[in-house]
Amino acid sequence: MKKYIFILLFICISGAVYAQRKVVEVETEPTSQSETARMLKRKVAIGRFSNETQYAKGLFYDKENDPMGKQALDILSTRLAASGKFILLERNDISQLLDEANSTENGFQKIGADYMIIGSITQYGRKNLGDAKVFSTTKTQIVEAAVSIRLVDVSTGLIIYSDEAKGDAELKTKTTMGIGGRADFDATLSDKAISAAISKLVENIINKCTNKPWRSYFLTYDSDAVIVSGGASQGISVGDVFAVKLKGKTVKNPQTGINIELPGKQVGKVEVLSVAGDTPETEYSIVSFKEGEIDGTQLRNYYIEEIKQ
C-alpha cells in the first residue's frame, strides 16, 4: 500500500513541475516575437538581363526583345519582390544610364538605386534520352541552363557579388507494350531550368544587399526644413531615428587603381517628422536634428544610416 502511495505522489509532483514549466514557456514566447527587428527596404534596379547563348538566335533575332532574357528578368524580379526586402525600380533608360556609368566617374549614382543587378544566361541546352527494354520504353526530356549574376553597389560602382549557377528540369514519360504517356517537347521546361538556376543565387543576393546598413542622403538643409531621400515604401515612419555620418576619406589602391571609401564618422542623429512623395523615386522625409549639426553647404559629404540594434 505504501508503495502505491509513493508512486502516486511522485506522479503528482512530476505533473506539477511539468505544468509549471509549460506555463513559463508560453509566457516568454510573445516577448521574443515582439522584439523582431524591422527591415528597411533597399532600392534595386535590374540593369540588364541578356541571353549570351546561341539558342533562338535566328536571322531576324532582336537583341532588345530577346524572350529568354526577359523571361529570366521576370523570374528574378518576382523572387526578389517576394522576399519583401526590396523596392524594384523599372528604368526604361537603363541602357543609357549604364553607358554613362561606364564613362563617368560617378555615373552609377545617377541610377537612383542602392544596388544594380546585371545578369545573363550563359548556357542553355536541351536533350532527349531514351531507354528501350523488351516490354517498355522510357523517354526523358532534359533542359539545362546556367545564369550569371553581378551585383553592383551604386554608391561606389564596385561589384560586390558575382556568381554563376546552373539549373535543370526534366520530364519523363514511359510506355509499356505501347500503352502509356507520350509527349512532345515541353516548353515549360525552359522556365523551370532558368528558375532553378536563379533560385540558387537569390539568397546570396539578398544577404549581400542587407549586410550593409541602409543608407540615405540629404536633399536640402536650410531654415525651412531638413529633407532626406526615402519614404514610406522603404519602411520609414514618423519617429524613426537615424545616425548622421560624415563620409570617410577616399583613398586609391595603387595595385588595382580602385578608389576605396573609408568608414564614416558619426556626427549626429536625426528624427523623422513626416514622410511624403508619390513614388519610391520621389519619396522623401522631413527630419530634425536630435544631436549634432552639419555644414549645410557641403551636403555631399554627409549621409544618414540606420542604427543597428
Q: In this predicted structure, what is the pLDDT of residue 21?
A: 36
pLDDT given for residue 148 in this prediction: 94
DSSP letters, the chain, are -HHHHHHHHHHHHHHHHHHHHHHHHHHHHHHHHHTPPP-PPEEEEEEEEEE-SSTT--TT--GGG-HHHHHHHHHHHHHHHHTTSEEEEP-TTHHHHHHHHHHSTTGGGGG-SSEEEEEEEEEEEEEEEEEE-SSEEEEEEEEEEEEEEEEEETTTTEEEEEEEEEEEEEEEEEEETTEE------THHHHHHHHHHHHHHHHHHHHHHHHSPPEE-EEEESSS-EEEE--GGGT--TT-EEEEEEPPPEEE-TTT--EEEPPPEEEEEEEEEEEE-SSTTT-EEEEEEEEE---TT-GGGEEEE----
User: So what's the pLDDT on residue 262?
Assistant: 86
Q: Note the pTM of the prediction, 2 decimals.
A: 0.71
pLDDT score recorded for residue 91: 62
215 contacts 155 by C-beta, under 8 angstroms: yes
* Pair 265, 245: CB distance under 8 Å: yes
User: Do residues 141 and 185 make contact, with C-beta atoms less than 8 angstroms apart?
Assistant: yes
Q: Which residue has the cell 546585371?
A: 118
What the chain holds in terms of domains, given with CATH numbers, is 42-210 (3.40.50.10610), 215-306 (2.40.10)
Q: How many CB atoms lie within 10 A of CB 172?
A: 13
Q: What pLDDT tens digit does each residue of the chain (309 aa) get? A: 444 444 444 444 444 434 343 333 333 344 333 333 567 999 998 878 888 887 766 655 566 667 788 888 889 999 999 988 999 886 655 555 555 555 444 444 555 788 989 899 998 888 877 666 656 677 888 889 999 999 988 877 788 899 999 999 888 777 665 555 555 566 788 888 999 999 999 999 999 888 888 999 999 998 889 999 999 999 999 999 999 999 988 888 888 777 788 889 999 999 999 999 988 888 999 999 999 989 988 998 999 999 876
CB atoms within 10 A of CB 76: 25
* Residues 79, 82, 88, 94, Cα dihedral to 10°: 20
- Between CA 187 and CA 171 the distance in angstroms is 11
Among the listed residues 140, 201, 141, 139, the one whose alpha carbon sits nearest the alpha carbon of residue 167: 201
pLDDT digit string, tens, across residues 168-188? 988 877 766 555 555 556 678
For residue 303, the cross-strand partners are 245
Q: Output the CA–CA distances (angstroms, integers) from residue 267 to 9, 19, 107, 184, 227, in the order listed.
A: 66, 53, 28, 66, 17
List, in order, residues 6 or more apart from 220 with CB less than 8 Å away.
226, 227, 299
Cα–Cα distance measured from residue 115 to residue 233, given in angstroms and rounded to the nearest whole number:
17
Nearest-angstrom CA–CA distance, 234 and 278: 12
| Per-residue pLDDT tens over the stretch 273-293 | 999 998 888 899 999 999 998
Q: What is the structure's pLDDT at 31?
A: 37
Taking a C-beta distance cutoff of 8 angstroms, is the pair 256, 269 a contact? Answer: no
**How confident is the model at residue 35, as a pLDDT?**
34
Distance CA 26, CA 47 (A): 48
Between CA 76 and CA 199 the distance in angstroms is: 8
